[in-house]
Amino acid sequence: MQRQAPPPLPMQAPAQADSSHPLALARRFRLSGRIGYRGTAAQEALIRERLERGPATRHELEALVGCGSLTKRISAMRRKGLDVSQSLVERPLPDGAFGLQALYWLTQPDTAQRDLFTDT
C-alpha cells in the first residue's frame, strides 16, 4: 500500500487558510510579528545581558525576551545566585496618566572589604 502525501497548503490569505493545517499556523505566527519561542536558558541570558547595561522595566524585558512569565525567569535567576533587585516606579502611560511598573536591575555586591574575610 502506498502512503498518501498530505494535502497541500491552500494558496489563500492566512486568514482564509485552513486554521488546522500546521503550515497555516506557522504562517499566521510569522505574519503576526511575534518572537518565536526561546528556551529558558536563552531567555535568562537575554535578561541578564539587558540588565548588565542598566535598569529595565518589566514591559521592556517582556518585549525583548518574548516570554509569558518574566517573574519565573527572574526567580530562577535569583535561585542561581544572580542578585536582581526590583522596585515599583511611576511611569507615564500612553493615555497621559501615570501607572506603576516593575523596574529590575542588577545589584553589585559590595566587595570593598572582601579581602578581610578571605585567606590569601
Tens of pLDDT, residues 3-36: 665 555 445 444 444 566 666 666 665 666 555 6
Specify burial of residue 13 (Cβ count, 10 A radius: 0-12, 13-18, 19+).
Answer: exposed
Tens of pLDDT, residues 35-57: 566 788 889 999 999 999 999 99
| pLDDT for the residue numbered 59 | 87
Sort residue 73 into left (φ over 0), alpha (ψ -120 to 50) or beta.
Answer: alpha
| pLDDT for the residue numbered 9 | 47
Q: Contact 14/24 with Cβ under 8 angstroms?
A: yes
Instruction: In whole angstroms, give the CA distance from residue 7 to residue 108.
Output: 58
Query: Where along the chain do its domains lie?
Result: 40-106
Task: For domain 40-106, give its CATH number from 1.10.10.10, 2.160.10.10, 3.40.50.180, 2.60.120.200.
Answer: 1.10.10.10
Average pLDDT, the chain: 77
Q: Which three cell numbers stand for residue 103?
A: 523596574
Tens of pLDDT, residues 106-117: 987 666 666 666
pTM of this structure: 0.59
